[in-house]
């Protein structure tokens, strides 16, 4: 699972391991997009032989990340829908996992989200963490860029690092991780 190496996920794992959030109670993870029109291709195919749909595509990553962070599941609930006209495979899925340790994961993968939610939101007994935006490596690769030895790669600008805080905070969030 290559998403275990995304910088934002590695940062999140370090924050949880550090204990600064306290006992984690809820984990939210999203891969959301606003694509009201179909693009075609295997992701939007309804053919089981092609494992089409977002549940098999991006859903595998959010589930894997939740299991890596919080361990085995004892209960799973999911809603999976085909919302776009002409679509043959799921394009809007929600998965709820209750982990053995009591953490609840709420996972979203969607191509029908007009207002994108945070990539990660973790609520702990001492603080919460919110992170918007995807790891920058994917966009850089799509633009044809490649890592070069000795040069920074996949680094996010500070305003996209995410925010840690508790209680009420301004729209810009709490402190930096």
Residue with the larger pLDDT of the pair 111 and 39: 111
User: Residue 112's domain spans which residues?
Assistant: 2-165
In angstroms and rounded to an integer, the radius of gyration of the C-alpha atoms of the chain is 17
**What CATH number should be reported for the domain holding residue 65?**
3.30.360.10
Query: Is pLDDT above 90 for 158?
Result: no
Q: pLDDT by residue (tens digit) across 48-70?
A: 667 778 888 899 999 999 999 99
In this structure, is residue 19 part of a structural domain? yes
The rounded distance, in Å, linking the Cα atoms of 129 and 20 is 10
* pLDDT of 174 strictly over 80: no
pLDDT band for position 177 (cuts 50, 70, 90): very low
The confidence score (pLDDT) of residue 170 equals 56
Alpha-carbon dihedral 49, 35, 94, 54, rounded to 10 degrees: 20
Distance CA 94, CA 46 (A): 18
Contact 44, 1 (CB under 8 A): no
pTM recorded for the entire structure: 0.87
Please state, in angstroms and rounded to a whole number, the distance separating the CA atoms of residues 135 and 127. 23
| Domain count for the chain | 1
């Amino acid at each position: 699972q290559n998403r275990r190496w995304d910088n934002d996920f590695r940062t999140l794992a370090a924050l949880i391991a550090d204990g600064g959030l306290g006992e984690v109670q809820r984990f939210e993870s999203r891969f959301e997009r606003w694509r009201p029109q179909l693009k075609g291709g295997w992701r939007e195919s309804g053919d089981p032989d092609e494992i089409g749909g977002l549940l098999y595509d991006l859903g595998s990553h959010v589930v894997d990340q939740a299991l890596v962070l919080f361990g085995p599941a004892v209960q799973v609930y999911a809603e999976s829908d085909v919302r776009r006209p002409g679509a043959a495979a799921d394009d809007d899925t929600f998965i709820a996992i209750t982990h053995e340790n009591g953490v609840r994961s709420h996972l979203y993968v969607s191509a029908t989200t007009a207002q994108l939610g945070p990539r990660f939101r973790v609520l702990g007994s001492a603080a919460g963490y919110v992170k918007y935006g995807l790891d920058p490596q994917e966009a850089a690769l799509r633009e044809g860029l490649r890592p070069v030895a000795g040069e920074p790669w996949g680094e996010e600008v500070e305003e996209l690092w995410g925010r840690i805080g508790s209680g009420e905070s301004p729209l810009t969030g709490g402190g930096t991780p």
